[in-house]
Amino acid sequence: MRDFQQPGRSTVFSTNGMCATSHPLAAKVAVQMLEAGGNAVDAAIAGAVLLGICEPQMTGIGGDCFVLMQKTGDTDAIALNGSGRAAMGTSSAEMRDRGLKTVPLDTPDAVTIPGAIDAFCKLSKDHGKLGLKAVLAPAIYYAEAGVPVAPRTSFDWKNDATVLKGSAAQFYLLDGKVPTAGQIFRAPEQAKVLRQIAEFGRAGFYEGEVAEDMVASLNAAGGCHTLDDFAATSCDYTTPISGTYKGTELVEHPPNGTGATAILMNNMLAQFDLPSMDPFGAERAHIEAETTKLAYDARNRFLADADHTTRVNHMLAPETAQRLAALIDPKKAMESPAAVSEQVHKDTVYITVVDKDLTSVSLIYSIFHSFGSGLASDKFGILFQNRGAGFTIEEGHPNEAGGGKRPMHTIIPGLLRRDGEVIMPFGVMGGAYQPNGHVRFLTNLVDYEMTPQDAIDAPRCFSEASGMRVESGYSDTVKQELRDLGHNVVTNSGPIGGAQAIYIDRENGVLHGASDPRKDGCALGY
For residue 395, CA distances in Å to 120, 399, 492, 506 come to 34, 9, 35, 51
For residue 418, CA distances in Å to 49, 210, 247, 254, 456 come to 31, 44, 7, 20, 20
**Active-site residue among 258, 348, 359, 410?**
348
- Contact criterion met (CB below 8 Å) for 222 and 108: yes
Q: Is 90 a catalytic residue?
A: no
For residue 219, CA distances in Å to 108, 261, 293, 395 come to 8, 35, 38, 26
Instruction: Spell out the SS3 assignment of 114-182.
Output: CCHHHHHHHHHHHHCCCCHHHHHHHHHHHHHHCEECCHHHHHHHHHHHHHCCCHHHHHHCECCECCCCC
- Contact criterion met (CB below 8 Å) for 51 and 40: no
* Rg for the chain, CA atoms, rounded: 22
Considering only CA atoms, which of 34, 255, 203, 229 is closest in space to residue 129? 34
Sequence-distant (≥ 6) Cβ neighbours of residue 67 within 8 angstroms: 44, 78, 79, 80, 82, 119, 123, 361, 362, 363, 413
Sequence-distant (≥ 6) Cβ neighbours of residue 268 within 8 angstroms: 291, 294, 295, 321, 324, 325, 328
List, in sequence order, every residue forming a beta bridge with 252; answer none if it has no partner. 241
DSSP annotation string for 370-439: TTTTS-B-TTT-PBPP-GGGGSB--TT-TTB-BTTPPPP----EEEEEETTEEEEEEEEESGGGHHHHHH
Active-site residues: which are they?
348
